[in-house]
Structure 1
């Protein structure tokens, strides 16, 4: 059969009502254990509180024009493609609804409606939120609670007086609940795989850290002397339910918690103890923590030696390259290596670090010779000089008296090694800083910076009735005539504000009462640009001489 172009075009543009494909029924009598749930639209599901729900809508093939999908939530809110509301969101195509951190309030029906110009189709999924199961004791009855997302149609309980038989609530006991049981009651946590504590690692030393018993964490290696006790801790930092710890010994045998075999035992906290350890006990010790959802393994390597095999060796200090320092350190703490020289400004703190090329056997002890002839030894951590266990010397608030050579000696029973650092302390130039506010008594001289304030006290030692003090300024005027920057206080003191170079000279105070008057007399002195010495005169009221310098 032949079709005309017009007929072919009509066939290819045939419109159809959208159809949402209904999936197979999902049989689910209990929520999936502690996991997110992914279902097809049309399937129902039970989801544990706190996990995510994903619902996928499937459209039938060959639907034109392309339909628009709109989701309706249990709250009545609607979401289109790319939209979100609270913890629910729809992807850009509109076919995927995700509900994150699902809560009891999210229980109910989730539906999607596909619509085009030809019609629409709707399909829904019913979601129940479960908070795990728990028991509630009311009187002599123990009630097993169901999901809180919906009210259970039947609450089962165990009547202690009926030999533990499970019966319907109506026949359970008189103290049956009238309200939903309290929560969270005894909520069952989700299982978590075990995980051992991850301790810090360190390089295997040339000799044991100590010639006594040793305690380490599993995953650390150790060198131990024959005859001592070894304890390897198996600290499990997480795991639900509590994991079982088992040890595998170097010979391949295993030990569980609270088990003992000869000199080997495992305590109830999982620690492995080896008493009177022998050369043949060395090797790999493996701890395994296991629970129903996983396991974790950690390994320690143990080396056992005889004490007679330890040979003393002298320490050797590493010689560091010198460095060019220009300019010297002005601010902040500074660190150099022993053997290097430094220029540093006073007031800073200096660290001189001792670097060993060979640590020596037994471990080295450090002693520093200071410029003043004193010494500072390992462990001295008070005062200006501190010596750390690794031989580092710290000089706090360094001063000019700390300049000189600092020699460090690393020593043990097999020998010693020394090296010297030269420290130069610099103090920058500083101008004299005269007082910003000067207060003097009449008869004293002062040097003051232009722009500052001056107070000259005129203290009358005798006079009856009380005298009145008046002042004559260097240019012959009085404070009243000069007003503004010059004033006389009730005490008779003269105040000069924002003093100027033109104000330098002789200031005269006169005390007057009805009986007499007294005026101080002084000779003119040469104006000095430096601080003048304090003089003393015989007058009861004296005239000070002022000199000034200009601050640059």
Structure 2
């Protein structure tokens, strides 16, 4: 046998009567004309054969393109498998090119990286440094195909969690800008929205003349008054979960002292004296008295006796988050000279003592 259009076939051809059984693992270079020569002392004879080698270039994951680029994601510390199933004639050889330019031919078994026999790349215990390009090359005599995988490593998915998970009650000063805080953690970062007392929903980044919703989960209320008091609901959502919390806003009312003396209050030395200081407001005010000497009484007191030194101005102050109010009560303590009210009889009889 003689390969007319190419070099001799070498060891892959057995010089037997049945070439077709012995010519194994055809390659494209094997294509051409083959001449069979039969020779003996009486002469020779020849016969010419034409061999066509059919090869199909590799196809990766069923895609009939030479190069495919795909983006994939993986969660940190997880395991990721990337398929590179190649078909073709003859069967293609599969190789992965790693980010550090290391070539791994299937099959390959490492402690963290595995290339399975079918071409699937497996990465265990995904790290942030695995964010890179991984290239799968499938090659046979018909050509080659390439799969470029752009891997992005994500943090562990977490459902939304409020930094302060409890419902709150907040008191705002009338007319003073107030901010409600609804800070939340989660991955991916949750979308935060607010529901106003009237049922209106605001997403992040909304600004009106009365409200501003920040990207960090805050709701700013401009010039709060009684009309803006009520229940505000904060909601946080991502692909993993949804949570809500309630914030009750009260717009405070500055304390108002209801009792106003018309003039100095007189007391008698040695007798009890009551000074009244009734007040209202929102939230309920705390009341404290400041005595003429500067001493402050900030809890209920009963003082039964006054001396002349306690004359002076007594100041009542009512305070809450919205402000404070005060009144001054002048006190005059009157002292009278001693007066005997139970006199003995004019004549006193006594008995002599026995000695």
Bin for the TM-score computed over the shorter chain: 0.3 to 0.5
Q: TM-score, normalised by structure 2?
A: 0.37
**Higher Cα Rg, which structure:** 2
More strand by share: 2
The answer to which structure, 1 or 2, has the higher relative contact order (CA under 8 A, 6+ apart) is 2
Q: TM-score, normalised by structure 1?
A: 0.25
